[in-house]
Amino acid sequence: MAAATQEQRKLTPLRDSRWQRLQLVALTLLLGACAAANPTPTEQPPPNIVLILADDQGFADVGVYGGALPTPNIDAIAGAGVRFSDGYVSGPACVASRCGLLTGRYQNRFHCKPLQDEPLPPSEPTLAERLQARGYSTALVGKWHLGSTPGLRPLERGFDEFFGFLRGIHLYYPQGQERDAPYYDFTLEHGGELYRGHEPVTETEYLTDAFAREAVDFIERHTDRPFFLYLSFNAVHVPLQAPPEHLEQFRYIEQPARRALAAMNSAMDEAVGQVTQSLRDNGLEENTLLIYLSDNGGSPMSNASLNDPLRGAKSDLYEGGIRIPFLMQWKGVIPAGSVYDEPVISLDIASTVLAASGGYTSLKPRLDGHNLLPYLRGEENGAPHDLLFWDYKGQSALRRGDWKLLLPAADAQPQLYNLRLDIGEASDLSSTHPDLTVEMLQALDDYATDIRGYRRVLQHRQDDN
């Protein structure tokens, strides 16, 4: 019996070892099968990026922001993703805003020149160039407005394909069909040609529809590799030209300019719908990061847009000039139907896109935006930004938490607003909160020093005293 016990002691570990190996093999096969069925995020292809930019669209002209005009396709992006209640652009007008958007850096850092033919220096990498270097196919459809001279055009700034116009304004109908339009001569003087690549082309469709057609065509030709589509509408910028069927849709609006604006807004919404439908039809919606925003606030005096309940308009630093419709969708990543109330800015788009496509923290030059995805998924608490800064043509502003400090002109007295309590900036609290006003003036001056390289806010006050 003792011998049998000895033998048993020798065999038991052997049986255990074989059983453990069998278990290990089975577990390995099981895990491999699970991994094949559920690949890890690193095994997923990089997301496609679709960035849609409206032009001069009012805060109150998008349905999901409480507007009276129907925009079902734009609203659907919010329904499938997130609406930013406090979404900003980095500049209150076309060029300044686009410089910030496509670099992810405050445009004041590199002295963006809004009224020049060379507003974006070649030394500043664009989002398209960064994504192109990562193997993305890239296309710009629509308005460029960041350089019309050789070396600064879209194909030379990271885009593989380009269909659109180079400068800031264009007729919506083919040139010659509406020769009496007030912007006809102005358009021709300011880069009125449409281009496909480097070659001028003639377009026969209403321009918003043509841009939608080209965007859908690009998507359908790039279903097998990651792409970046920058769809930059000129709608709803003047001139006010709308298709007859859309004008008929809004015949109940008596004011002609407002009716035209509504019709143009609706045509653009339909164009957005064509793009989102193409993503669905081609099985791309699940792995596409889709972003929609306006380049600045509406311009009621020129295109009859509305920014209610915000004060101000395009070209100024009241909320109506810089707070814009801002939506983001990525199914399965961004919670559907969510609202994010912390302040964010268009500079965050480059950081978010680059983080999603492979990382951004080590990029040079350093970006000013933040990756918003951890905040939208609840992985990060608090606000992405401690401060937001604006400086445009003698105006300066700073937002910190609920508070906003505004200098509406270089020699103006500071204004202080609590935006949570006063989104319309009706009550200037600088006289009742003098210490906070001075504190925020100092913060504004420090920020200006960091970004612009010199003090400008407090210096002129000291000189005046």
Q: Are 76 and 63 in contact (CB under 8 A)?
A: no
CA dihedral 276, 278, 281, 283 (to 10 degrees): -80
CA-atom Rg of the chain in angstroms: 26
Q: Which pLDDT does position 257 carry in this prediction?
A: 97
Give me the chain's average pLDDT, please: 88
pTM: 0.88
Per the CB < 8 A criterion, the answer to whether 130 and 158 are in contact is yes
In this predicted structure, the answer to whether residue 129 has a pLDDT above a threshold of 70 is yes
pLDDT at 191: 56
**Predicted pLDDT of residue 462:** 39
Instruction: Measure the CA–CA gap between 369 and 120, rounded to whole angstroms.
Output: 18
Cβ atoms of residues 262 and 69 within 8 Å: yes
Q: Look at residue 27 and tell me whether its pLDDT is greater than 70.
A: no
Q: Which residue has the higher pLDDT, 83 or 461?
A: 83
Please identify which of the residues 94, 112, 222, 385 carries the catalytic annotation. 94
Q: What percent of the chain has pLDDT over 70?
A: 83
Q: Quick check: bond before 365 cis, omega within 30?
A: yes
Are 417 and 428 in contact by the 8 Å Cβ rule? The answer is: yes
The answer, yes or no, to whether residue 455 has pLDDT greater than 70, is: no
Question: Is the pLDDT score of 37 beyond 50?
Answer: no
Q: Give me the pLDDT at residue 186, please.
A: 61
Options 1.10.10.10, 3.30.1120.10, 3.40.50.300, 3.20.20.80; CATH for 388-464 is 3.30.1120.10
Residue 183: the pLDDT is 63
> What pLDDT, on the 0 to 100 scale, is given for residue 175?
62
Q: pLDDT by residue (tens digit) across 425-449?
A: 999 999 999 999 999 999 999 998 9
The average pLDDT across 382-397 equals 96
Q: Is 145 an annotated catalytic residue?
A: yes
Residue type, 321: G
| Interatomic CA distance for residues 108 and 127, integer angstroms | 17
Q: Which of 27-36, 43-52, 316-325, 332-341 has the lowest mean pLDDT?
A: 27-36
Choice between 57 and 175, residue whose per-residue pLDDT is larger: 57
Query: How much is the pLDDT for 185?
Result: 61
Question: Which residue out of 99, 112, 145, 170 is catalytically annotated?
Answer: 145
pLDDT tens sequence across 231-262: 999 999 999 999 999 999 999 999 999 999 99
Dihedral sign for Cα atoms in the order 48, 193, 270, 346: positive
Assign 113 a pLDDT band (cuts: 50, 70, 90): confident
Is the dihedral angle over the CA atoms 451, 372, 386, 74 positive or is it negative? positive
pLDDT at 150 over 60: yes
Q: How confident is the model at residue 43 (pLDDT cuts 50, 70, 90)?
A: low
Task: Kindly write down the DSSP assignment for every residue of 201-244, as one continuous string.
Answer: E---S-HHHHHHHHHHHHHHT-TTS-EEEEEE--TTSSS----H
pLDDT at 456: 53
Higher local confidence (pLDDT), 369 or 9: 369
Per-residue confidence band for 375, with pLDDT thresholds at 50, 70 and 90: very high
**Domain chopping of the chain, boundaries:** 47-376, 388-464
Query: What 8-state DSSP symbol labels residue 282?
Result: T
| Cα angle for residues 343, 347, 351 (degrees, 5° grid) | 105
- In this predicted structure, the answer to whether residue 410 has a pLDDT above a threshold of 90 is no
CATH code of the domain occupying 47-376: 3.40.720.10
Distances, alpha carbon 422 to alpha carbons 49, 296, 310, 319, in Å: 35, 21, 9, 11
pLDDT greater than 60 at residue 38? no
| Distances in whole angstroms, Cα of residue 363 to Cα of each of 104, 126, 379, 433 | 11, 12, 23, 40
pLDDT tens digits along 170-182: 989 876 555 555 6
Q: Assess whether the region 47-376 and the region 388-464 belong to the same CATH fold.
A: no
Tell me, what amino acid is at 96? A
Per-residue pLDDT at 18: 38
